[in-house]
Amino acid sequence: MSQTSFPALFSPITIGGLTLRNRIVSTGHETHLNEQGQIGDAMIAYHEARAKGGAGLIVTEVALVHSSAVFVADPIRVDTDACIPGYSRLAEAIHRHDTGLIAQLFHPGREILASEDGTAPVSYSASATPNERFHVMPRPMPAEMIAQIIAAFGDAARRMQTAGLDGVEIVGSHGYLPAQFLNPHVNKRTDAYGGSLANRTRFIREIIEDIRRKTDPGFVVGLRLSGDELSHEGVDQSEMLDACEMIGADAGLDYFSVVAGSSATLAGSIHIAPPMFQEAGYTAPLGQGIKDRTGITTIITGRINQPQDAEKIVASGQADMCGMTRAMICDPQIGSKAQAGRTDDIRACIGCNQACIGHFHDGYPISCIQNPVSGREIRLGEVPAISDKRRIMVIGGGPAGMKAAAVAAERGHDVTLFERDSQLGGQTRLAQLLPHRAEFGGIITNLTREMELAGVTIRKGVAVDEATIRDHGADAIILATGATPRWPDFEGRDDAHVVDAWQVLRGEVKIGKSVVVADWRADWIGIGVAELLARNGHSVRLSVNGYMPGQTIQMYVRDASIGRLHSLGVETIPYTRLFGADEDSVYLQHIMNDEPVICENVDTLVLCQGHTPDDTIETVARDLNIPFHLAGDCIAPRTAEEAVLEGLLAGRAV
C-alpha cells in the first residue's frame, strides 16, 4: 500500500493555531514515567518515540491543577511554575519531529484512587454524591473553591504556553470533576452551578473562558468528554449532546476529544481502556453525534488499533482525528509504517490491557506485552551491535522463542528456530480459543512477521534432542521450551473424571454435564474455561484459590468476565483449594480455615492448576557445555509479557 491508501488519515488539519501533518493522535494516558511529579528523561523518551514514529499529535497524561486534585501517589502537578522546565524539554523533543503537543489538565473530583501518603484524602465534587467504584463520599465544593479551581485551570494553561506547548485539554471525560458538574444525578446544587443545563455547564464554560483570558489567541483549547458514560446514573448520549452544543456555542473551544465510559462504576470503567471484546472503533458514533451537533473538530478514541479503521472513521466523517494510543504503545511506528505502505509490518495491539493500563493500576511504568521497549526506551531503545556473526539455535516457537529469534537475527546473527509442533505460538494458540480472546492470537501473527523481516530460518515439526543440537553446530542456544499443565497430587485423581484446561481447549476429552473448574492461578485460564463450558451448555462451578475469579489479571478484563459468568449462571466458590475427588464429587478446602467445601453431583473436574516448566533440553545443553540463555515459562511459568521481554533480552544477549 502507498500513502494514497489512507488519504484522509494522512491529510493535514488545523486546530486553532496548530496545523498537524496527519490525523493520528496519542491521547492522554498514564505512563508512571514521571520523576517525583515532574517530567523527566524517561517520559520524554517515551513520547518522542511516538512522535518520531509518525504521530500527528501527542496529548500528555493528566496533570493536577490544584492541591485538592491528588488522586494517585506521585502525580504530575502543574499548579506551580516548577513544572515548566520539564514540559519545555518535552515540547522541544516532540516539535523537532513535526508533531503537535497538548497537555491534559485534570481534577478528578470524587474519583479518588489513592493518595500521596496512604491516608484517604478529602475529595470535592459538585455535591455530596457518593462514588460507587471507589466508595468515596465527597464534600460539596464551596463557591469560593469553584472560583479557585477555575483559576487554577487557567494558570496551568498559561504555564503550558510558557513551556512551549501548543495547547491544553480539559479532562471532563469518565466522570471526572467537570463531568460531575454536568451530571444531574451527581450535581444537586441549587446555586449558579446546578439545576439547569446552562448552570451545569457553567463550570466548564468558565474554565474555557479563564484559559482564553490567560493565553494567546492561537493557543489550542480542547475538551475531553465521554459521549456516553455507559453507567448507572451516568450521563447518556442525548444529555451529552445537549451539553456539548451549549459548551461549543461559546466559541472558545477548538476541539472535542470523545471517549466512552466512566470511572465512577465498574461497568463504566472498562471503557477507559476497552478490552479486546469491544469492537474496533465502537465509539465512533459518539464522536459523530458531537461533531454533527456542534460542527467543532472532533477526536474519537476507543479500540482503533489499525490504520484501516482510522481511515474509515475519518473518511466517513465520523471524526476528524483518531486516538490510537494503545496502538502506538504496541508499535510507536504505526504512523510511519502506514504512510510508507508497510501495513503488514505493523505490530497490532490486541487490547489485552496487561502491561499498559495494567501496569498503571499496579503502580509500575507503562509497557506492552508485545513491545517490551515501551516505557524502557532509554534502557532498551538501542539494539546492541554484534562484534561477530554467530550461529544461534532457538528451541521453542512460543512468544519467548519467536521474540528471541527475531531480535537475534535483526542484530545480524544466523538464527534458526526449532518448534516441535506443526504450528508456532505455544500457549497463545490455546489462549485465543477462549471466549472473547481470539484477538490474543495476534501475537503469533505479529511475531511471525518480525521473524520474517529479520530473516529467521524456521523449522517446524522438529522435536529437538541431543543429536539435533550436535548436528546444528550452534555457537549459542536460546531455550524457550515453555511449560506443561500441572497436575497436582490429590486424593482420587486417578479414579474421578479429571481433565486439564489444555485438553478441554484442544477438544481432546469429553466433558460431562456438571463441571467443577479448579482454578489455582486465578488468572484468565480458569475464568475463561468456565465461561467456555457454560456457553456450551454445561453446569459450571468455578472454585478459585483466591478471593475472586481473575484476581491476577487486569481489572477491566476481569470485571467484564465476572459479569458474563453471572449472566451464564456460573457458581463461583472463592477462597478454596482442591483437596480430592471421586466419581461424583469434588472436595475442596476453605483456604482460611481448612474447613471442607463439598461439590456434589459432579461429572468432570477440570484442572487449571498452573504449569510445570519444561526444562529437559536445559539439562542436555548443560551436558554439552554450549552457551545458552533461557526465556519464558521454561524458567518459571508466568505470562506472555514475561516471555516476550525475556525473549528480547535473550536475543540481545547472544
Query: Where exactly are the structural domains of the chain?
Result: 3-374, 385-485+615-623+639-653, 498-609
For the stretch 544-574, pLDDT in tens is 999 999 999 999 999 999 999 999 999 999 9
3-374 is classed in which CATH architecture? Alpha-Beta Barrel (3.20)
Q: 124: how many CB neighbours lie within 10 A of its CB?
A: 24
Q: 13: how many CB neighbours lie within 10 A of its CB?
A: 19
Q: What percent of the chain has pLDDT over 90?
A: 96
pLDDT band, residue 3 (cuts 50/70/90): very low
C-beta separation of 426 from 440 below 8 A? no
CA 263/CA 132 separation, integer angstroms: 9
C-beta separation of 182 from 204 below 8 A? yes
pTM of the model: 0.96
Query: Nearest CA to 23 among 391, 465, 335, 435?
Result: 335
Among residues 87, 176, 556, 587, the one annotated as catalytic is 176
Q: 545: how many CB neighbours lie within 10 A of its CB?
A: 22
**Residue 176 known to be catalytic:** yes
Mean of per-residue pLDDT scores for the chain: 97
CA max distance for the chain? 83
C-beta separation of 650 from 404 below 8 A? yes
Q: How far is CA 107 from the centre of its chain?
A: 22
CATH class of domain segment(s) 498-609: alpha beta
CA 410/CA 622 separation, integer angstroms: 27
Q: 93: how many CB neighbours lie within 10 A of its CB?
A: 19
Q: What 8-state DSSP symbol labels residue 142? A: P
Instruction: Identify the helix (H) or strand (E) that includes residue 147.
Output: helix 143-163
pLDDT of res. 329: 98
CA 586/CA 592 separation, integer angstroms: 19
3 state DSSP class of 520: coil
CA 474/CA 395 separation, integer angstroms: 11
pLDDT band, residue 511 (cuts 50/70/90): very high
C-beta separation of 605 from 512 below 8 A? no
Q: Where does 385-485+615-623+639-653 sit in CATH, by number?
A: 3.40.50.720
Rg value, the chain, Cα: 26
For the stretch 177-212, pLDDT in tens is 999 999 999 999 999 999 999 999 999 999 999 999
- Helix, strand, coil proportions of the chain in percent (round to 5)? 35, 20, 45
